[in-house]
């Protein structure tokens, strides 16, 4: 996948915004790439496009899956996982809010109840 300047700017911007929201910059960049990608991407393709280490991409994808921001699919004849971002913006916002609630507010509420 060849990134246009506009795509590069979006990925960089999303990475900066992610770091302000408490998300690792490279994780946010992976999410941005998957969000603008037309087709599902493998971890190796993500590594190649973003220039990130395989371990970094693998950990980032695990985090994004845990937050339910990306989905995994399989293709016949291919043993690799293929990743896509949530496409619907309302579903994406709901997933972000749910992940932040669980990461930020739930621990505080549990501590106050004890």
CB atoms within 10 A of CB 98: 12
Give the tens place of pLDDT for each residue, 40-65. 999 999 999 999 999 999 999 999 99
Give the chain's length: 114
pLDDT at 104: 82
In DSSP terms, which residues pair with 61 in a beta bridge? Answer: none
- Nearest-angstrom CA–CA distance, 16 and 38: 23
CB–CB of 33/50 below 8 Å? yes
In DSSP terms, which residues pair with 85 in a beta bridge? Answer: 70
pTM for the model stands at: 0.85
- Kindly give the parts of the chain with pLDDT less than 70: none
């Amino acid at each position: 996948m060849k990134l246009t300047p506009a795509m590069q700017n979006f990925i960089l911007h999303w990475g900066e915004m992610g770091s302000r929201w408490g998300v690792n910059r490279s994780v946010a960049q992976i999410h941005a790439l998957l969000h603008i990608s037309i087709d599902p991407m493998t971890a190796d393709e993500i590594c190649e496009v973003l220039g990130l280490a395989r371990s970094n991409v693998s950990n980032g994808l695990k985090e994004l899956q845990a937050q339910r921001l990306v989905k995994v699919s399989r293709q016949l004849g291919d043993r690799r996982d293929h990743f896509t971002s949530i496409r619907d913006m309302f579903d994406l916002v709901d997933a972000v809010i749910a992940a932040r609630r669980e990461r930020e507010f739930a621990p505080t509420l549990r501590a106050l109840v004890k």
